[in-house]
Amino acid sequence: MSTTPAGEAIAPPSSRPYVGRFAPSPTGPLHFGSLLGALASFLDAHAASGRWLVRIEDIDPLREQPGATRQILATLASHGLQHDGELLFQSQRTELYRAAADALQRNGMAYRCHCSRSWLARHGGIHPATCQPQADPGSPAALRLAVQSAPPSLFEDRVQGQYQQLLARDVGDFVIWRKEDLPAYQLAVVIDDAAQGVTDVVRGSDLLDNTPRQQYLQQQLGLRQLRYAHIPVIADRQGQKLSKQTFARPLDDAAALDNLLAALDFLGQQRPRQPRSVAALLRWAVDHWRIEAVPRRLALAGDELPPSCRLFAS
Ligand code: GLU
pLDDT at 77: 98
Using 50, 70 and 90 to split pLDDT, how confident is the model at 1? Answer: very low
Q: What's the rounded mean pLDDT across residues 30-52?
A: 96
Average pLDDT, the chain: 89
Q: Please give the distance, rounded to the nearest whole angstrom, from the Cα atom of residue 24 to the centre of ligand 1.
A: 5
Q: Is the CB of 25 under 6 A from ligand 1?
A: yes
Question: pTM of the entire structure?
Answer: 0.90
Q: Is the CB of 203 under 6 A from ligand 1?
A: yes
Can you tell me which atom of ligand 1 is nearest the CA of 204? 8
**Above 60 in pLDDT, residue 302?**
no
pLDDT at 307: 54
pLDDT (tens digit per residue) in 214-265: 999 999 999 999 999 999 987 766 666 666 555 478 999 999 999 999 999 9
Q: Is the CB of 47 under 6 A from ligand 1?
A: no
DSSP-assigned letters across all residues of 160-174: TEEEEE-HHHHTBSE
Report the candidate in 256, 242, 259, 236 with the shortest Cα–Cα distance to residue 309: 259
Q: Please give the distance, rounded to the nearest whole angstrom, from the Cα atom of residue 240 to the centre of ligand 1.
A: 18
CA quadruple 102, 25, 196, 94: dihedral sign: positive
Report the candidate in 72, 83, 56 with the shortest Cα–Cα distance to residue 244: 72
Q: Please give the distance, rounded to the nearest whole angstrom, from the Cα atom of residue 7 to the centre of ligand 1.
A: 31
Q: Please give the distance, rounded to the nearest whole angstrom, from the Cα atom of residue 133 to the centre of ligand 1.
A: 34
Region label for 297, one of left (φ > 0), alpha (ψ between -120 and 50) or beta (otherwise)? beta
CA quadruple 161, 10, 213, 263: dihedral sign: positive
Complete domains list, the chain, with CATH: 16-91+232-314 (3.40.50.620), 93-197+205-225 (3.40.50.620)
Report the amino acid identity of residue 232.
P
Report the candidate in 15, 13, 14, 41 with the shortest Cα–Cα distance to residue 282: 41
Report the candidate in 145, 188, 186, 184 with the shortest Cα–Cα distance to residue 168: 145
